[in-house]
Structure 1
Amino acid sequence: MATKKDKKLIVDKDWCKGCGICVEFCPKDVLEMENDIINIKDLDSCIKCGLCELRCPDYAIYLEGDESDE
């Protein structure tokens, strides 16, 4: 089973409508808006809390782990 540190932050820029909700909820300032689309500016600071994934209305950002994740 993958742990939090094994997960990877994924952004599907085709699905992002540029609302910026994920940027506002990120507790570590990992995300930014760039040309009206989300951009990961500091992946090393990401604590993989999942708030961006939880708040995105378009499922454009998510944490991906292996298939054994629940």
Structure 2
Amino acid sequence: MFKIKIDENRCKACGLCIHFCPKQVLAFSEKRNLQGYKIVYAKNPEACTMCGICYLVCPDIVFTKEDENEKG
């Protein structure tokens, strides 16, 4: 099983992932990253179908797939 990991410090708040998410999983947080941008977070993680659209549309490589079975 995989889950999407969000690298908060790479996010530049462009909003593409939020706009294109078909299940409205993502939203902007009030929290800001080191560059001062509002970060994206999974507002409705239970709705995520792992479609990967956020991963594909993000220009800043904020999203990565993480194997939940790997321990490191």
TM-score by length of 2: 0.77
Between structures 1 and 2, the one with greater strand share: 2
Structure 2 residue 27 is the aligned partner of structure 1 residue 32: yes
Aligned residues: 61
Q: Distance in 2 between matches of 1:58 and 1:19?
A: 9
Gaps of 5+ in 2: 31-37
For 1:60, the equivalent position in structure 2 comes to 62
Name the counterpart of 2:13. Answer: 18
Deviates more, 1:25-34 or 1:35-44: 35-44
Residues in 1 aligned to 2:62 and 2:2: alpha-carbon distance in whole angstroms: 16
37, 42, 57: which one aligns with 2:44: 42
TM superposition shift of 1:9:
1.1
Identity fraction in percent? 39
When the two chains are superposed, the root-mean-square deviation of aligned CA atoms in Å is 1.3
- Structure 1: gaps (5+ residues): 1-5
What do residues 3-53 of structure 1 show as CA deviations (whole Å, max 9, x unaligned)? xxx111110001111111000010000000113210111111000000000
